Structure 1
Amino acid sequence: MGEKHVVRFEPVGIEIEVDEDQTILRAAAENGVQLMHGCKEGQCAACKSFVLEGDMDDIELDRYSTFALPDYEKEEGSTLLCRAHAYGDLVIELLQYDEEIIRNGLPLTRGVVEVVAIEPVTHDMRHLVVKLVEPAEIKFFPGQYMDFLVPGTDETRSFSMANTPNREGIFEFVVKVYPDGLFSQFLDTRLQVGDRLEVEAPFGTFTLRENRTSDIVFVGGGAGMAPVLGLLRSMAERGVQRRARFYYGARTTRDLCFEKELAELGEKLFDFTFVPALSEPDPGEEWDGHVGLITEVVKKNETSLEGMDAYVCGPPPMVDAAIVTLTALGVNEHNIYYDKFTTTGEQEGEDGQ
């Protein structure tokens, strides 16, 4: 371990000690301070913050994308907390934060899980179900994600829980299989029921803001189904009285999943509408629903979303396009909560495929 330095987060006034060998985001998570973040790989910019006090030479960044942090922003004092190591005391201004989430964060817990089931839900997505072996419990909020250590490597991959917290220690995931995906190919070709995997959780801030009562619009694509499903299941279980609609983008009918459960959830939720759309339906396939990119369908269906909360989850192009669409329709940018599913495999398009 390296030396420790004090990092203070403003405007929330929280101080933590950060070891030089850790990223600032990692140190915060270990202290139960849940800062805004997404990919943890320097690609999505969700954790971008500004250095108010401290020498910029006292910050070292692991490898990151200049799309997330352009050189001119770095020179002006911006940094990515998921990549930043502190080599001196710092004061950081959080550009995106939610005080309710920050102060109610859960500490990270490492554990071991055993595979219970691996079932196809589409031609290229798998429903992975695991059961906790140790410790006795890993706490999480619906919408958060878990890191899996890829066997035989030092690499981890992140997947959102599709289920709600339960006493049985069961976790469900929707994993998209990529041709060159390190974990997804292992899952699809080698992982067996009964195998054990090392995990760590919880990560992520894609959780329901309990202090809000506004109607909700969900926008998702591809494996972005998982965290939205977790939030909807939680709302149904707890009888949350908030109107919600879920716009989900797929390429063709064979890319759709969980339609039956979403219809059943519609019977349990206060007021829920599921709106699937296909961006490239196959010629001749039977489909009488919406056609087009999911953001186009939202634009077509909605005249105003003023006063609503929005939760967006999927590949970066879809998330970025959705944020533009939602703000144009009147959603306050501070009430748009998103999770960008970055990937080291083949890049996904706006429709999530």
Structure 2
Amino acid sequence: MTHTITVLPSNDTFPIETDETILDAALRANVILPYGCKDGACGSCKSKVISGMVKHSEDSTALSDEEIDHNIALLCHTTVESDVTIEARVIGAGAYPVKKLPTRIISMKRATEAGDIMLVELQLPANDSFEYRGGQYIDFILRDGTRRSYSMACAPRLTDKKLELHIRHMPGGVFTDQLFSSMKERDILRLEGPLGTFFFNEVTGAPCVFIASGTGFAPIKAIIEEMQSKYLVRPIHFYWGVRRPHDLYLHELAEEWARTIPNFKYMPVISDALPEDNWQGRTGMVHEAVLADFADLSEHNIYACGAPLMVRAAHEAFTTTRGLPETAFYSDAFLSAADKVKK
């Protein structure tokens, strides 16, 4: 049975079948609502249900019972049983179409002392366009049809048609075990993208706080490069949280940004430094470093990317104690295949 979704305040409408989620129906209709992981973990697609009957999935982790009581829904894990009206920010019709393309591995380079992060460069087909926004991600489509998602780590490079990815080895992971053992340069992979709505809001001139944990650095890097290419100047504070100093795998690049980009400040934060690291900088949880530096975030835009726990903690702390508007928090929570199984 077909129902209708109405989105306020834009008054966009689109049809939905009883067996599909609101997010899937919106994307099918080319109405782009905020979303990230599509697995009920990141919370990027939380929206308020104004009227109608909805059904929440029981295996989502980013929605509390209290939020459900207040008519909040995760669009990626919510189906409908009637016409439904929701309140959500419509990002617009999809400017860049989602495509499935073959891609060839150009280079693979281990980036850390521990060797658990691979910098991968991909070559896209010369005869096909692939446009995206810095901060978005792609899915690799594996031979059995399963998917693995990775953020693009570079601004769109239309001249040489290359993509850069930063991939952490997840022991036991179907894709990363192969990447770190048997894959080699010139291997062919299949991808789909661009996906996600984590990208820079060019409309507002608000100062920005970028927060990354681990390889959450990758989409932040892409956004910063895109800002540079478009001459978008904003005051930027970039906080990068990792366990130990050697996990700052492109530390020198971030330091270069601080030297060369006007009004750019870089704060690496180490959570588990050992005595032999001789670390003299900031320590603790990365979002807590932001709380220590900012008494008021009401006039800022926040871009947070990395572990779901960090993203959720930052969102809760900034919106409840620092005056950050809900609409000024942009996020992408990285969810591994193992994490999805744990749900």
How far apart, in 1, do the equivalents of 2:184 and 2:85 lie? 45
How far apart, in 2, do the equivalents of 1:312 and 1:228 lie? 8
Q: Name the residue aligned to 1:350.
A: none
Corresponding position: 1:64 with 2:59 = yes
Q: Name the residue aligned to 2:309.
A: 317
Give me the TM-score of the superposition, normalised by structure 2: 0.87
Paired amino acid for 1:199: L
Per-residue deviation, 1:103: 4.2
Q: Indicate which of 148, 155, 160 corresponds to 2:151.
A: 160
For structure 2, list consecutive stretches of 5 or more residues without a partner in the other structure. Answer: none
Distance 1:321 1:140, change over 3 A: same
Q: Is the 8 A contact 2:165 2:218 kept in 1?
A: yes
Per-residue deviation, 1:218: 0.8
Q: Is the 8 A contact 2:132 2:194 kept in 1?
A: yes
1:239-318 alignment runs, 5 A limit: 239-318=231-310
Distance 1:24 1:135, change over 3 A: farther
How far apart, in 2, do the equivalents of 1:135 and 1:181 lie? 33
How far apart, in 2, do the equivalents of 1:262 and 1:289 lie? 15
Q: Is the 8 A contact 1:147 1:199 kept in 2?
A: yes
Indicate the SS of the match to 1:102. Answer: coil
How far apart, in 2, do the equivalents of 1:107 and 1:312 lie? 25
Q: Indicate which of 90, 108, 116 corresponds to 2:98.
A: 108
Paired amino acid for 1:188: F
How far apart, in 2, do the equivalents of 1:36 and 1:182 lie? 29
- Paired residues, number: 336
Give me the TM-score of the superposition, normalised by structure 1: 0.85
Corresponding position: 1:231 with 2:217 = no
How far apart, in 1, do the equivalents of 2:179 and 2:19 lie? 31
Q: C-alpha offsets along residues 295-330 of structure 1, whole Å, 9 cap, x if unaligned?
A: 232233334434111111111111122223433234
Distance 1:14 1:127, change over 3 A: same
How far apart, in 2, do the equivalents of 1:103 and 1:39 lie? 19
Instruction: Indicate the larger mover: 117-126 or 223-232.
Output: 117-126
Q: Is the 8 A contact 2:41 2:308 kept in 1?
A: no
Report sequence identity in percent: 29
Distance 1:324 1:50, change over 3 A: closer
How far apart, in 2, do the equivalents of 1:134 and 1:90 lie? 45
Q: Name the residue aligned to 1:131.
A: 123
Per-residue deviation, 1:16: 2.5
How far apart, in 2, do the equivalents of 1:143 and 1:191 lie? 26
Instruction: Indicate the larger mover: 179-188 or 299-308.
Output: 299-308
Q: Name the residue aligned to 1:340.
A: 333
Q: Indicate which of 121, 127, 135 corresponds to 2:111.
A: 121
Alignment root-mean-square deviation, CA? 2.7
Indicate the SS of the match to 2:273. Answer: coil
